[in-house]
Amino acid sequence: MPSLQRRSGFTLTELLVSIAVVAILMALLLPAVQAARERARVSQCKNNLRQFGLALHNYHDAYAVLPPGCVGNPNDPANLQGWGWGVMIFPFLEQKPLFQTLDPVRNSLPDVLVNAELQPKLLISVPLFRCPSDIGYPLQSDQRTFSGFVLRPTATTATIEMSASDKHITYACFIPPPSPTPSPAPSLPPPGTWGVQTATSNYVGSFGNLWKTDPNLWTTADYVGNGAFGSNSSVRTKDVRDGTSCTFAIGERGWRSFASVWAGTDAWNRCEREGIPMILGTAHYRLNADPHPYNLSCDPGGAAGFGSEHSGGANFLMLDGSVRTIANDINYNQHSEPALMSVFGRLARRDDGRPLGEF
């Protein structure tokens, strides 16, 4: 009889149970997928640092010295802008065409910044200089812009070339202070706008653990630093008396701390936001320390230090070419005297002469 025929399909209770089971499985699976993706991003970040290590060793083999952290002219107080270590090793990073275009041997950074054809080249995003875990924009915020006027075409937006890619993307020029989820970026400004934006980098050379929060106390010798890099530095591997396997070469800095740029610095002899923190990092500040939102002074916190978007720590290239992950809870203090320095400070300094245990 029709009333006795068997009906097919789910009851409402069965449907709700099925949905609940699927939701539980997704909740269990998503963290594992996210963790796997982050491991892949960490691996890529470490590979970037290894490529820097090879480039630095090849540079040292060619010139018997490490590249300077930045190059400035002490005899010209009006021209404080200088190329950074990243540009110096471009020929050893398969970026020779960009190096030849910028021609830093003959062109100073101020020369390029006032050249309408060359200035846009500073916006090229070089993938090797970006940590895949970082959420920041390919172009820097106004915390890391260069002094000068925008010389791009008259359109309110501009197409930014990305190295080693066929993609063309429109990015912002002036970006609000960084946040965990950056807001949509405005368009590039028209010519004549003050403040030249350049490509972002997530890697900074090690300035050591030297730092002074009072700008009046800095000397020209201080700007050379006590790490692998500094203003007009010329560090050789034999100068690293603590051993290349336990001395930082390059570390990370995330967008939350205004990251870095590969081009250079707006002021090679200044310690505030437009100075050496643009390309160099100091262990004077705790790893992943919070930055000052507007780091106008010489006490910018994490904006002059090291940090990353990775959970628990940051990756560092050692001067021997190895890559180490340094945990956030590494022994730390701000003492600059060798006998009182922390493990973190000793790793950043090239010649403290003190024994270093496990880290």
**What DSSP letter does each residue of 59-117 carry, written as one string?**
HHHHHSSPPPSB---TT-TT---EEBHHHHTGGGTT-HHHHHHH-TTTS-HHHHHT-TT
For 352, residues 6+ apart whose C-beta sits below 8 A from its C-beta are 242, 338, 341, 345, 346
pLDDT tier at 183, thresholds 50, 70, 90: very low
pTM of the model: 0.83
Classify burial at 115, counting beta carbons within 10 Å of its beta carbon; exposed 0-12, middle 13-18, buried 19 or more.
middle
As a whole number of angstroms, the distance between CA 342 and CA 332 comes to: 5
Apex 159 CA angle, 44 and 121, nearest 5:
70
259: nearest Cα among 309, 321, 329, 313: 309
Enumerate the β-bridge partners of residue 326.
314
> What is the predicted pLDDT for the residue at 109?
94
For 11, residues 6+ apart whose C-beta sits below 8 A from its C-beta are none
pLDDT tier at 178, thresholds 50, 70, 90: very low
Look-up: residue for tokens 């501009």?
Answer: 158
> What is the predicted pLDDT for the residue at 187?
59
pLDDT in tens, 47-79: 999 999 999 999 999 999 999 999 988 777 667
110: nearest Cα among 81, 73, 147, 75: 81
As a whole number of angstroms, the distance between CA 238 and CA 66 comes to: 11
pLDDT tier at 7, thresholds 50, 70, 90: low
Look-up: residue for tokens 């090793």?
Answer: 89
As a whole number of angstroms, the distance between CA 164 and CA 242 comes to: 38
As a whole number of angstroms, the distance between CA 178 and CA 358 comes to: 35
pLDDT tier at 162, thresholds 50, 70, 90: very low
Q: Is the Cβ–Cβ distance between 67 and 46 less than 8 Å?
A: no
> What is the predicted pLDDT for the residue at 176?
37
> What is the predicted pLDDT for the residue at 6?
58
The secondary element (H helix, E strand) that includes residue 249 is: strand 248-252
> What is the predicted pLDDT for the residue at 8?
65
> What is the predicted pLDDT for the residue at 155?
40
Q: Is the Cβ–Cβ distance between 137 and 127 less than 8 Å?
A: no
pLDDT in tens, 21-49: 888 877 776 676 666 777 889 999 999 99
Q: How many CA atoms lie within 13 A of 135 on its CB side?
A: 12
Write down how long the chain is: 359
In the predicted model, what is the mean pLDDT of residues 227-243?
A: 93
> What is the predicted pLDDT for the residue at 171?
35
Range of 187-191, 301-305, 336-340 with top mean pLDDT: 301-305
CA distances from 4 to 7, 10, 30, 156, 259 (A): 9, 18, 45, 73, 72
224: nearest Cα among 116, 349, 47: 349
Q: How many CA atoms lie within 13 A of 261 on its CB side?
A: 31
Q: What is the mean pLDDT of the chain?
A: 85
pLDDT in tens, 116-152: 999 999 999 999 999 999 988 899 988 899 999 988 6
Enumerate the β-bridge partners of residue 83.
264
β 168-169/194-196 pair status: unpaired
Q: Is the Cβ–Cβ distance between 317 and 50 less than 8 Å?
A: yes
pLDDT in tens, 283-319: 999 999 999 877 788 999 999 999 999 989 999 999 9
The backbone torsions φ and ψ at residue 323, rounded to the nearest 5 degrees and listed phi first, read -120, 130
As a whole number of angstroms, the distance between CA 159 and CA 80 comes to: 29
